[in-house]
């Protein structure tokens, strides 16, 4: 989803127009405003006031049309949503180009500089001003998205499987040959993308350069309130903090997989074959938990899904409980329109999008979530995550339009995830779902499963954009697209393709965000920030127990500080927002190490005598 809808699937800035929205909405059309000489600060301020008023109006219209399209899928609702989005896009593009007129302002106020920059950075994929090149880039973007969305693999017998079916094979099958076939099969959809992507990169770079950036990667990195090269160094620093924990997890998983599949499939001291990790991109290893679990398969000591069912929790009661989490922190209850307009269950009479997302349709109080809720532990946690977005959206709703978003694109997801981290046994006791907390000894399996999700993701979250930054800067040439991709995957993840790959392949294109023009670094940042937020909130709540057992439920002090950060929106550089909550001005990944300390110690024991690294 796009930032104009404030939906969860991808949380860019309010105006950031990215690949998922009807394929083309990130393309900057050739809409240059007439040039004027020596613009003044007063003219810039008037331009920004008018721009925000126009954008607010069309954003709400696009949001309402998109909501109807997502909750009542028909040909007509798709057409209406596309038209509303087109109007919003064309306005945003025209304003971004007109903002260039004020680049030469003398001594402009800080707020003017910030807002003009945000208008330019709204364009994920800016096209050159040349009309023919704009049309070409638009067509390429549509082709790339379509090639991915319609992709499938057909075996020699004519049995065809789409991404969902192939992913289920990787998640559940334990035959290495079947896993290899599914893994390779999905990557047959992407080689044809390769020449298109080469031209896409050239045109995207040209558009970014017209807006004043060295290349498209530098433009993406410029959204983080720091020099683009400094930001690249910052994410490397964060990775260095967590890599030792990842290396431990990798060592244990490889050893267990070698026990299962044999040394001829998984070799000691070498990268793990990417097809064996339970996920199409090896970014989440939780599907192979049973292969690497502790002896006796230590569990949490309770089954939350069973508890919810036994206590008669339906969709509304689950959401009301999530709302109660936030009111216990001192936040006001959700508006009555939330309950009237949200989609909490799957309707029986029409097609809808069930993927969970949080919406702020009018940028004020029209908050909603869209889910097809079942009384399960997963959905209970997801509800708390989605409501985190809604309460964030309402906290900053008094900011001016260009500031209606999180402090950087990692903050929104991190807040939702941090709230979900408080769904602990302590919280479940507090709301009457559990009678008492289980012994700490029951936590090992839970923590290992969490590590297979959260820790295993970190290097992949980093390398997707590192590859694109290299492509956009020219450091990675078209002749080495695939080789560079696998060099990064081996270096950061310690994974390798299960079969030989060549430059006839285009494996980056097998991950949606690459052909879909969606920056990926936000997910890496969110994975770091959620634990930093959680640790600080727990300290404010006075919880000095194990970090993975902490819940901030009922702490108004934690809620007060959280609201101070949320209410800033995008109005200040993200270090200011981070400091408001944590007291730190630098992102800090050591909270991940604190959270996973028990499983880290267990991994040290398991890895004794093993050869780690690759």
Task: Give the integer Cα–Cα distance in Å for 166 and 179.
Answer: 9
The secondary structure element, H or E, covering residue 142 is helix 131-149
Q: Exactly one of 6, 412, 513, 548 is catalytic; which is it?
A: 513
| Overall size of the chain counted in residues | 614
Catalytic, out of 66, 413, 526, 527:
413
Q: What gap in Å lies between CA 133 and CA 137, rounded to an integer?
A: 6
- Bridge partners (DSSP) of residue 154 are 160
- Pick the catalytic residue: 250, 386, 541, 589? 386
- Told to judge if 384 belongs to the known catalytic residues of this protein, a careful annotator would answer no
Is 108 in contact with 41 (CB distance < 8 Å)?
A: yes
Please tell me which residue in 6, 252, 384, 385 is annotated as part of the active site. 385
The phi-psi region of residue 448 (left if phi > 0; otherwise alpha if psi is between -120 and 50; otherwise beta) is: alpha
261 catalytically annotated: no
Q: Which residues pair with 17 in a beta bridge?
A: 123
The single residue listed with the structure tokens 């289920």 is 168
Is 413 a catalytic site residue?
A: yes
End-to-end Cα distance, the chain = 37
Q: Which of 46, 104, 233, 355 is catalytic?
A: 355
Q: Which of 70, 356, 407, 456 is catalytic?
A: 356
Token pair belonging to 414: 């991190």
Collapsed DSSP state (helix, strand, coil) of residue 557:
helix
- Catalytic, 355? Answer yes
d(CA 116, CA 545): 46
Q: Rounded CA gap, 396 and 410, in Å?
A: 16
Distance CA 557, CA 494 (A): 42
CA dihedral for 551, 553, 557, 561, sign (positive or negative):
positive
Is position 523 annotated as part of the catalytic site? yes
CB of 206 closer than 8 Å to CB of 553:
no
Please name the helix (run of DSSP H) or strand (run of DSSP E) that holds residue 161, with its range, or none. Answer: strand 160-162
User: Reduced to 3 states, what is the DSSP secondary structure of residue 162?
Assistant: strand
Angle, helix 521-540 to helix 444-473, in steps of 10 degrees: 140
Block residue for tokens 């997302």: 357
534 classed as catalytic: no
Task: Name the pairing type of β-strands 272-273 and 495-496.
Answer: parallel
Q: Is 471 exposed, middle or buried (0-12, 13-18, 19+ CB in 10 A)?
A: buried
Residues known to be catalytic: 355-356, 385-386, 389, 413, 513, 523
């Amino acid at each position: 989803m796009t930032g104009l809808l404030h939906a969860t699937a991808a949380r860019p800035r309010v105006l950031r127009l990215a690949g998922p929205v009807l394929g083309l909405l990130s393309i900057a059309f050739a809409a240059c405003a007439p040039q004027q000489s020596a613009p003044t600060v007063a003219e810039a301020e008037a331009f920004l006031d008018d721009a925000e008023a126009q954008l607010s109006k069309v954003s709400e219209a696009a949001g309402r049309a998109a909501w109807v399209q997502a909750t009542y899928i028909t040909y007509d609702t798709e057409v209406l949503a596309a038209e509303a989005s087109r109007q919003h896009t064309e306005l945003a593009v025209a304003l971004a180009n007109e903002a260039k007129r004020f680049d030469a302002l003398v001594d402009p106020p800080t707020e003017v500089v910030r807002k003009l920059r945000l208008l330019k950075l709204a364009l994920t994929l800016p096209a050159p001003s040349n009309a023919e090149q704009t049309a070409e880039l638009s067509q390429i973007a549509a082709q790339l998205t379509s090639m991915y969305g319609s992709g499938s693999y057909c075996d020699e017998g004519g049995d065809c499987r789409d991404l969902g079916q192939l992913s289920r094979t990787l998640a559940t099958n334990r035959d290495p040959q079947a896993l290899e076939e599914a893994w390779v099969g999905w990557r047959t959809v992407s080689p044809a993308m390769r020449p298109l992507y080469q031209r896409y990169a050239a045109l995207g770079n040209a558009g970014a350069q017209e807006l004043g950036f060295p290349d498209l990667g530098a433009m993406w990195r410029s959204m983080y309130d720091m020099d683009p090269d400094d930001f690249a160094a910052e994410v490397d620093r964060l990775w260095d903090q967590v890599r030792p924990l990842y290396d431990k997890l990798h060592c244990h998983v490889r050893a267990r997989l070698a026990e299962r599949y044999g040394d001829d499939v998984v070799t000691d001291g070498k990268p793990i074959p990417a097809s064996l990790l339970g996920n199409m991109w090896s970014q989440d290893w939780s599907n192979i938990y049973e292969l690497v679990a502790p002896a006796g398969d230590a569990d949490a000591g309770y089954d939350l899904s069973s508890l919810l069912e036994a206590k008669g929790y339906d969709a509304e009661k689950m959401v009301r409980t999530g709302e109660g989490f936030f009111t216990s922190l001192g936040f006001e209850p959700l508006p009555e329109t939330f309950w009237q307009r949200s989609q909490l269950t799957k309707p029986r009479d029409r097609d809808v999008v069930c993927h969970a997302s949080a919406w702020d349709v009018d940028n004020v109080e029209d908050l909603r979530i869209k889910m097809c809720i079942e009384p399960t532990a997963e959905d209970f946690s997801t509800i708390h995550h989605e409501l985190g977005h809604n309460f964030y959206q309402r906290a900053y709703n008094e900011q001016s339009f260009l500031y209606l978003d999180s402090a950087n694109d990692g903050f929104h997801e991190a807040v939702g995830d941090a709230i979900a981290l408080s769904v602990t046994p302590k919280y479940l006791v507090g709301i009457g779902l559990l009678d008492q907390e289980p012994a700490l000894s029951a936590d090992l399996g839970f923590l290992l499963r969490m590590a297979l999700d959260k820790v295993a993701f970190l290097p992949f979250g980093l390398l997707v954009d590192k590859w694109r930054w290299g492509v956009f800067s020219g450091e990675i040439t078209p002749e080495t697209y695939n080789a560079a991709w696998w060099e990064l995957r081996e270096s950061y993840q310690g994974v390798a393709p299960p079969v030989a790959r060549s430059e006839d392949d285009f494996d980056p294109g097998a991950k949606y965000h690459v052909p879909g023009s969606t920056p990926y670094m936000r997910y890496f940042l969110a994975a770091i920030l959620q634990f930093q937020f959680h640790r600080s909130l727990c300290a404010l709540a006075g919880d000095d127990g194990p970090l993975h057992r902490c819940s901030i439920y009922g702490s108004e002090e934690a809620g007060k500080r959280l609201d101070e950060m949320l209410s800033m929106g995008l109005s200040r550089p993200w270090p200011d927002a981070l400091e408001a909550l944590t007291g730190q001005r630098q992102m800090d990944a050591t909270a991940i190490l604190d959270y996973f300390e028990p499983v880290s110690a267990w991994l040290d024991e398991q890895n004794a005598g093993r050869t780690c690294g690759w």
